[in-house]
Structures are given as C-alpha cells and as structure tokens.
C-alpha cells in the first residue's frame, strides 16, 4: 500500500506556554555544569597495539584522536586491573594494570594524552567485591585467625543455612546462592554475584581504609573520577541506609583529594531508591529511561517515553538534592541498542538523536556510534570494534557474531558514507556541544496532536531549542512563527516557514539567537 505524507499544522510560538504542555524541570542540575559526553571503552575489544589480538592501552592511545574528533569529552575505562576473567570485574590487584592491557607506564601515558586533548578519564572501580584470587581473600581462607579474615564476611553454617538459597535473581545478578563453601572450611563466605566474587566487609574499618587508599592512589595518578560498579550492594539489601551512608562518606573523602572528582554510580533500582542516593552518588545511570527510549521508538508511541520521563523527573526533583542525570541507550550489561531496535539503522539514529537532546550527561557505549549489534550473553555485547578490514588493527580475542559485515560496516567504510550512523552521531554530538542549553535547560513537552511525534523544548532564559522526533512512517510538517535556526542543516528559518520532518527522523530548531 502506498503511504501518503500527513501534513500536520501545529503553530509553535516558543514564547507562549500552551496549557497542554507538560514541563519537566531540571532544577536538580546546576546550570553552570559544562557539557559532557562520556565514551565507554572496553579496552580488550577496542584496538590492538601489539598485534597479539587483544586490545590494550597503547592501542587505545592510538585512537584518542578518533574519540576526541567524535566529540567525546571524557572516556570511561571498563576495568583494567589484573583479573582472572575476560571482563575484569573480579580484581586481584587494584594498584597495577593487567599485563594483557599494558603497564603502569602505559596508563600514565594514557592519562597524560587524554588530558592533553582536553578530555577526562573515568576509571571503573570495583569495590563491592574482589576476586577469590585476590591476596586478601586467599589469606582469609588460610586461617580463621588471619587478619584478612575480617576483610570478608564469613559466618558459621548454622547462622546462614536458611539464607543460602533465598537470594532472588535480579537484573544485575542471576546468581541464586549468596553463601558459598570453601574447601576444608566450616564457615561460609558471602558473595552476592557468585563464589568467585566474595564481597568485602565494609563493617571492618581496615577495609574502608584500603578502599579510600585505592581511590586516592588513582586520583593522585590523574584519574578524574570513578564509575562505581555494583554500588547498590556495599551492604546487603536490608541495610540500604548503611550503603547510602557509605557512599556519602566515600564521596566526601574523594573530594578532599580532588574537589572536582566525578562520581557515577551503577544502581539497578527504581527512581525512588536512586533519589535517596544522590547525596553520596551525585550521578546515577538512568536505566528506566534507557528502556523507555526503544519502547517508544518500536511502538511509535511518544507517550511511552513521556510518562516515564515525567515520573522519574518528579521523583528526582522531590529529593531536593543536586544531581546529574547519566543517560544511556545501552552498555556492557545490556543488549546493544541496535539489536534492541531490530538492526534498523533508522531507528538507531532516532535513538541517538533522542539521547543527545535530553538534559543530563549522555554515555555512549563503544561501537554504538557505528551501529554495533549484540545480545546476551555478555561476551557478545563486547565484541571487537571493526576499525577496517585490516586484521592487524582489529582485536581478535573473540570472533564477532553480531557486529559483522554487511550488518555492521567497519568505521573506515562508514566514514566514506555521509549518511552512515557514524556521521549521524558525530553531527548530533556537535549540535549538543554547540548548544549547552540541551545539557542543563528545562525540558517541556509539546502536544503535537499526534502521539507518533515526540516533541519538546529545552530552554533557559536566553535560548530555546525545539526538538521533534518523528516516530511514524509518514512525514510531518509544522509551521514556525518566529525566526530560528535549523541546527541540522545550519540554515536560517524565517517566520511562517514550514519545518518538514521525514518519517523516522529527528529535527532541532533553535530560537533566541541575538
């Protein structure tokens, strides 16, 4: 069936607040916060600097110009410490670099090179647990009298026998056993995620001292902040207030070492719980919104996004604590956004434009900018980045299953195509950086009389950007009453011009230019 464009006549005058508009204030976010765009890197899969097939720090250094040119202002490194696993979230030494990734000299150089480009570097810090191969835990298993025994939570079997199998699966852990056996030991030890990741005992003061010393070591090295893994699980779930108090103390302590330290927490929980943590974790990933974005796009229903955004924003603002919303489409624990959207490049572009026009700080998972695909298990979410067809440049530690040609073209190929998802990301990142109001302005939804059109303004006292995401299969058009600038084309818009938005595309118009 042939589809004919639908002409929608809605007059938008940005100086008029329509009764039907819905507002979502960003009062929790300081207006002076600089625009930041964080790029998440899994070093193992990113770029191979010594031709052994495994990504490393020298390889990453060689690609810093690419990351900077893309428009990122900060790099988040997934764990780089020694670890027995491929993912490195079970650390055996917090003060060194895994030999597959390089040396501390390489790390020092990386920090210096990142800073020379005007970017920041954020380190994934895993302090909820260690590896069962960490020297602290090994010592704790040697004898109940060893001083490191209290670094972990050991209890007599009779104390925990009724709780051993009472753990429920959660999004961040499908493990159902939280008290684990150790050969030859009468006691059980606590490990929320699995037996290879024993939880540290934060009731033991020397553990706190160790954790603060680790943070200080990396801040002294020049690290600008931490992404804090499993931040909900410092204490068991029934001790939430203790977890909250710990993070308040942690952040206060880190700020004595670096007042500008960036703190981002990973907490899989409802917005009410997140809002209670802002004092200690001033930035938290907005996982609820990351689910709402693809749902709205797939269903062509703007209301699916609006209702979630408004609910979250009301809850956050009610906390009356300054916060920085950490926005994302996917990360290393989630099916890649391209796969969630069925491998449709147009829908992926819509998602990117939506992410990059919301108040807060966007986090872009490596490869998202070229439409990489991947679904769980996690190893397939972390496939090698396809730089080009030269196997010496791409990592080879894992054979890609999803991010392969022709479904996903290499970066080299996409750079040649102005219509590629790579150029789309680069364009919208530039728009965001050139219009800081998108980072810290007030978002107000606009009623377009068409639920397949997600429309909102983001503005402050001097500038307003009007954003339109056409989720439908038909072109929509809107007359504009005031002079403005089309930020996608860079062209001036005269009063009474018509803004045309093709099917499944986004547009952004800026008012208030002097």
Catalytic residue set? 229, 266
Q: In whole angstroms, what is the distance from residue 45 CA to residue 104 CA?
A: 19
Q: How many CB atoms lie within 10 A of CB 234?
A: 22
Neighbours of 7 (CB within 10 A): 12
Under DSSP, the state recorded for 34 is P
Q: Are strands 464-470 and 506-511 parallel, antiparallel or unpaired?
A: antiparallel
Contact yes or no for 333/172 (Cβ under 8 A): yes
d(CA 481, CA 12): 6
Do residues 354 and 469 touch, judged by C-beta distance below 8 A?
Answer: yes
From 1, 54, 102, select the one nearest 392 (Cα to Cα).
54
Distance (Å, rounded) from C-alpha 213 to C-alpha 429? 36
Q: Report how far residue 345's alpha carbon sits from residue 372's, in angstroms, rounded to the nearest whole number.
A: 10
The secondary structure of residue 238, as a DSSP letter, is: G
- Give the three-class secondary structure for 252: helix
Secondary structure of 390-459 as H, E, C letters:
CCCCCCCCCCCCCCCCCCCCCHHHHHCCCCCHHHHHHHHHHHHHHCCHHHHCEEEECCCCCCCEEEEEEE
């Amino acid at each position: 069936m042939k589809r004919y464009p639908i002409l929608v006549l809605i007059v938008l005058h940005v100086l008029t607040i329509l009764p039907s508009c819905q507002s979502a204030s960003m009062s929790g976010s300081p207006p002076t916060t600089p625009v930041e765009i964080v790029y998440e890197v899994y070093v193992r899969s990113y770029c191979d600097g010594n031709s052994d097939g495994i990504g490393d720090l020298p390889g990453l250094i060689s690609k810093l110009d690419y990351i900077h040119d893309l428009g990122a202002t900060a790099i988040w490194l997934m764990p780089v410490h020694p670890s027995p696993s491929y993912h490195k979230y079970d650390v055996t030494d917090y003060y060194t670099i895994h030999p597959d990734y390089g040396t501390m000299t390489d790390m020092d150089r990386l920090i210096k090179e990142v800073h020379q480009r005007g970017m920041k570097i954020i380190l994934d810090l895993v302090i909820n647990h260690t590896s069962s191969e960490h020297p602290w835990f090994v010592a704790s298993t040697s004898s109940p009298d060893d001083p490191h025994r209290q670094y972990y939570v050991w209890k007599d079997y009779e104390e925990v026998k009724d709780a051993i199998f009472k753990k429920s699966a959660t999004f961040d852990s499908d493990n159902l056993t939280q008290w684990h056996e150790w050969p030859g030991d009468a006691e059980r030890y606590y490990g929320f995620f699995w037996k290879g990741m024993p939880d540290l005992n934060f009731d033991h003061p020397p553990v706190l001292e160790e954790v603060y010393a680790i943070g200080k070591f990396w801040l002294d090295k020049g690290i600008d902040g931490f992404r804090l893994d499993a931040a909900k699980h410092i204490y068991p779930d029934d001790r939430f207030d203790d977890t909250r108090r710990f993070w308040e103390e942690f952040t206060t302590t880190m700020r004595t070492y670096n007042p500008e330290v960036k703190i981002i927490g990973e907490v899989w929980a409802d917005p009410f719980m997140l809002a209670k943590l802002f004092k200690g974790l001033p930035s938290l990933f907005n996982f609820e919104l990351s689910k709402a974005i693809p749902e709205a796009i797939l269903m062509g229903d703007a209301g699916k996004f609006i209702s979630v955004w408004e609910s979250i924003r009301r809850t956050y603002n009610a906390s009356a604590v300054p916060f920085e919303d950490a926005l994302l489409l996917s990360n290393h624990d989630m099916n890649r956004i391209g796969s969630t959207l069925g491998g449709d490049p147009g829908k992926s572009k819509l998602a990117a434009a939506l992410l990059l026009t919301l108040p807060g700080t966007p986090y872009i998972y490596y490869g998202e900018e070229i439409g990489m695909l991947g679904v769980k298990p996690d190893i397939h979410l972390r496939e090698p980045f396809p730089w080009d067809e030269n196997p010496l440049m791409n990592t080879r530690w894992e054979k890609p299953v999803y991010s392969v040609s022709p479904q996903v073209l290499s970066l080299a190929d996409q750079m040649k195509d102005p219509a590629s998802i790579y150029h789309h990301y680069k364009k919208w990142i530039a728009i965001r950086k050139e219009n800081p109001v998108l980072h810290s302005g007030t978002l107000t939804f606009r009623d377009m009389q068409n639920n397949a059109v997600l429309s909102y303004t983001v503005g402050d006292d001097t500038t307003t950007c009007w954003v339109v995401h056409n989720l439908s299969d038909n072109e929509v058009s809107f007359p504009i009453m005031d002079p403005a600038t089309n930020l996608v084309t860079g062209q001036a818009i005269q009063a009474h011009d018509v803004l045309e938005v093709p099917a499944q595309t986004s547009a952004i118009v800026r008012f208030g230019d002097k």
